[in-house]
Amino acid sequence: MMIDRFQYSPWDFWAKADATAQAQQIATQRALTAERPGVTFGGECFVSDLASVDNDELALGDRSYIAAGAYLTGSLSTGRDCSINAYTVLRGDVRIGDAVRIGAHTSILGFNHTMSDPGIEMFRQPLTTEGIRIGNDVWIGSHVVILDGVTVGDQSVLAAGAVVTKDVPAGAIVGGNPAKLIRWRVPQADHPLAPSDQSLARADQPHAPGDVVVTSNNDLAARVAAFAETARAQAVALLDRSFSEETGLFVDRPGNSPTVRAQCDAIEIADLLLDTAPPQLPADQQLERLRGWQDAATGAVASLGAGSMQLASAGFDDPDAAYHVLCVGYALQLLGTGFAHPITLVTAASATDIAVAMNELPWTTNAWGAGHQVDAYGTALHLSRLRGDEVPTGTTEALFGWLLTHADPTTGMWGSPNREDGLLQLVNGFYRASRGTFAQFGLPVPYPERVIDTVLQHARDERFFSAGRQNACNVLDIAHPLWLTAGSGYRSEEITALASRLLNAALDHWSDGEGFGFRAPAPHLAGLDETTPGLQGTEMWLAIIWYLSDLAGVSDALGYRPRGIHRPEPAPH
């Protein structure tokens, strides 16, 4: 009996197969999704009946296919238009971008066997998993082997037979055993990270393609100093740009409405660059307005609505009100005062209330949101202590006790990765939760080395850290945890290398007279709100640049050190 050719060559199945075959394919996919809750398929996908699909988690993007003889296990996600051709093996934790084509007989192995104890047979020893990340528009030839821990950059080519043991920069063509740079698919000028010795970047030293290479610490310090001088000289102009004479309030960027956060960002920026309050208004006027926005009954600061009028307080369930604990609290400290009223988020919360609330936070689905709330709890405790407000017995211990007893010893964090964005939620949630608690109170985090491992692994995810994809939130959320745990000395060379690369990229984002946008600029992102310079982006990137500079050993050249919401020292108590 002749085997259906689409089993081995499925790329034109949905254009040429008859209705019966297409109906059978739909039934095959439905059976897989019914059998395995972690399996999903996009539109016009194909899965050969002759493939072994044994994944715990599988997400296949639109128009992606699995040909005959393929063997799949573990957790795999692909973007659109990806091919897993005949007899390909994909195992472990593998994340693939859009338009990735994988040749026959290739093995992509996102796990490894340990061999630390020679007294135990190797097959009985535990497995380790760092995961494999493959970017967009990648061509992988036949008989290629990609080992665990490797990141393959966008628009790269892995030649047939290549054994890839180290990261592949974006735009590179590599081949051989072990794989080495052959030439550049994308002109080398567009990827200045190109290694001069024709070897590949080490897998344990994350990179962001497009970053500028600085050859020495002296060069980097000089670049940092030049940036700081420019920023200080232009600080008044960028604050003027976001100040509304009509309302007497700051907006994030021209054309936006005033927000509570914009007032606080302006105060933070002025403190960093001018060592004073924003000169657009007398400091006492800014101070009294922030204090006046606090609700006397709850201690919450509600958002501003139409006409710059404050909305009715929704309490601390409002994410903006939760963040205002931080930004208003620290802005008032920079102006030499504090909140006028107790913050009932903690002064009216018993130890039991805190424990219940911590258990109910969305750690597995939205770890960033959970960390956001913990940050508010921790900061409210700190501000309450400064005010001398009474906090119920055991409330502080309940917060820290929950965090200590629920930290995952394998990641050092709270929550879990997910298929859609990998470690993003986990790492971002850790930053927010640890900033407001362990960092703010000067206490060590439970598993610092595991935190470093998790952050460095996340930093190799090109979806968030390649050129044109970085934003202030994601970069701050790795810079601060690495700074917080750097005292351990663990993987220090890798941390310094990563910080230097990210720092060089960040310095390029400055827009004269306007500051920073929240997201790194790129030609195809021009005009988007998130890349338009504003107060939020400027405040965050100024803090990020300090943390990265300190990790790279050049922070003295900046001439500023955060004293507000992003202060590196524990808050005074």
Reference 439, options 474, 490, 394, 479; nearest CA is 479
Task: Extract the runs of DSSP E, i.e. beta strands, from 7-160.
Answer: 39-41, 46-47, 52-60, 65-66, 71-77, 83-84, 89-96, 101-102, 107-110, 112-113, 127-128, 132-134, 139-140, 145-146, 151-152, 157-158
140: phi then psi, degrees, rounded to nearest 5: -115, 115
Instruction: Respond yes or no: is residue 113 known to be catalytic.
Output: yes
What is the distance between the alpha carbons of residues 333 and 502, in angstroms, rounded to a whole number? 30
**DSSP, residue by residue, 103-126:** -TT-EEEE-EE----TTS-GGGSP
Contacts of 514 (CB under 8 A, 6+ apart): 238, 241, 533
Question: Nearest to residue 549, comparing CAs of 264, 270, 226, 233?
Answer: 226
Contacts of 309 (CB under 8 A, 6+ apart): none
- Residue 396 tokens read as 């502080």
User: Which residues, other chains included, contact 264 with Cβ-Cβ below 8 Å and sequence gap of 6+?
Assistant: 290, 327, 328, 330, 331, 565
Q: Cβ(556)–Cβ(545) under 8 Å? A: no
Among 105, 113, 509, 566, the active-site one is: 113
* Strand (E) or helix (H) holding 249: strand 249-250
Instruction: Reply yes or no: is the peptide bond before residue 319 cis, omega within 30 of 0.
Output: no
Backbone phi, psi, residue 517, to 5°: -85, 160
Count CA within 13 A, CB hemisphere, residue 549.
28
Active site residues: 113
